[in-house]
Amino acid sequence: MHQTGKPRYGNLKSPEGYSAVKAYSDSKLFNIYFTKSLAERFADSGVTAYALHPGVVKTQFNAKLSGFLKFFFSLSAPFAITPEKGADTSVYLATAPKLAIKSGSYYIKRKAKATAAIVNDLDARNKLWALSEEFVAPFKV
């Protein structure tokens, strides 16, 4: 879904014009933005960061959805995987040190995959990072 996401920064704290589909797509894009930014900012520290798509996982995630997303998840239900299978790539990435050279990459089923070109927009990633710092500043200790 990150491929249909856009850096819509003006709507991060406001429900005005809210669309569940757009918000979900944007959140997937932003997840990859953060992953790439973390990988770059901490490259010399030994810290690695990965983004991943776990697949369509059979959970209660869609229990309170409505509209298109509810319809989409109902269609995908027969193809949904167990939570254990959905966690496989996360566990793999967290425990496989040989992947350090691919920090910042996006994974599906334990394999690095290409992302949409928008993911490489450094200005967009830096803007999201700066806005996030603003949002969390009141909570710093």
H or E segment to which residue 124 belongs: helix 122-136
- Answer yes or no: are the C-beta atoms of 56 and 76 closer than 8 Å: yes
* C-beta of residue 107 within 8 angstroms of C-beta of residue 88: no
Indicate which residue of 18, 24, 33, 92 is catalytic.
24
| Active site annotation includes 50 | no
Q: Are 50 and 105 in contact (CB under 8 A)?
A: yes
Helix, strand or coil for residue 82? coil
Widest pairwise Cα distance in the chain: 46
Give me the residues paired with residue 52 across strands. 107
Instruction: Give me the phi and psi of 28, to 5 degrees please.
Output: -70, -40
Type of residue at 108: I
Q: Just list the catalytic residues.
A: 24
